[in-house]
Structure 1
């Protein structure tokens, strides 16, 4: 079951004295997070009155947050988005949907483990797969990831030497 709300970033600081907050986005780009009119903080919807990318982060004005003191109270909070209505390009998935998926060898069908973590270095994601005392680091590229079936609950991958740590 997919979560309706997805973690999208964290408020790490204030910006200026007018109540703007600085959000570190956990999305592909700050622009993606800027496209939302509503963010969710502590389970409550908060209207975004303005948002702009700034040095890889997002500077946002939130309804009801009019000064630095109100903004400071949000520091450290996780912001969520509602996945409803978000259209991802073909072949793209929310990282949260991949966590916990069973990982199968594309050639043998053997279960290798589950997606335990996803690393996000600049080039591409790397799936950390753990199972039966083994760990695999699998780059999220077509050469190694042959099928992603979120609804079916699995990934099929082709391993090469050196992926097992």
Structure 2
């Protein structure tokens, strides 16, 4: 399992006073109001960034980091990922999982046959869709609904599914 979870990506600067525009990659952008700090993936490791204040603009989160007071100081961080450790991650309800933890699960059909590996999760709005890459490199799309997802076992890193008629 991933040690750190991505909560956003810096897309651009915002104004000239050191603020950045962040595209949230979390389901709840309002969680930024509760965060005191994030880790920035600089490409050469992680840098702890203390959040000074948070605003919201359209679908973006505007962040101001403590100690960065001009556009020149913050501009080099465009396109950098913002992460939190698991201790600061959102608490999950029963049968909820982080996408980063689902990627790579072995997927089996209800009769025990190996279907493939979970490669991606598409977020459609209505329900997520799991992209499973089969051994022949073809993909099958499985809706993340109770009728299809029978069991997820994170300890054994596998998932058991029921394939609705027409999915293959």
So what's the TM-score if we normalise by structure 1? 0.90
Cα distance 1:28–1:63, how it changes in 2: closer, same or farther (>3 A)? Answer: same
Structure 1 runs not aligned, ≥5 long: none
Q: Distance in 1 between matches of 2:60 and 2:18?
A: 16
Q: What are the equivalent positions in structure 2 for 1:18-33 lying under 5 Å apart?
A: 18-33=17-32
Q: Distance in 2 between matches of 1:4 and 1:155?
A: 21
**Secondary structure of the structure 2 residue equivalent to 1:84:** helix
Question: Residue 90 of structure 1 aligns with which residue?
Answer: 94
Q: Distance in 1 between matches of 2:88 and 2:6?
A: 16
User: Which sits farther off after the overlay, 96-105 or 29-38?
Assistant: 29-38
Question: Residue 150 of structure 2 aligns with which residue?
Answer: 146
Question: Residue 122 of structure 1 aligns with which residue?
Answer: 125
**Secondary structure of the structure 1 residue equivalent to 2:16:** coil
Deviation at 1:98, TM superposition (A): 0.2
**Deviation sequence 1:45-68 (CA, Å, 0-9, x none):** 111111233322211111221111
Given candidates 114, 135, 139, the residue that maps to 1:135 is 139
Deviation at 1:127, TM superposition (A): 0.6
Question: Residue 15 of structure 1 aligns with which residue?
Answer: 14
Question: Residue 39 of structure 1 aligns with which residue?
Answer: 38
So what's the TM-score if we normalise by structure 2? 0.89
**Deviation sequence 1:10-65 (CA, Å, 0-9, x none):** 10011122111111111112113443211111211111111233322211111221
Judge conservation of contact 1:20–1:59 (CA < 8 Å) in 2.
Answer: yes
Deviation at 1:4, TM superposition (A): 1.4
Aligned length: 162
Deviation at 1:85, TM superposition (A): 4.4
Q: Distance in 2 between matches of 1:46 and 1:136?
A: 40
Q: Distance in 2 between matches of 1:92 and 1:36?
A: 21
Question: Residue 5 of structure 2 aligns with which residue?
Answer: 6
Question: Residue 166 of structure 2 aligns with which residue?
Answer: 162
Q: Structure 1 residue runs of 4+, over 6 Å off?
A: none
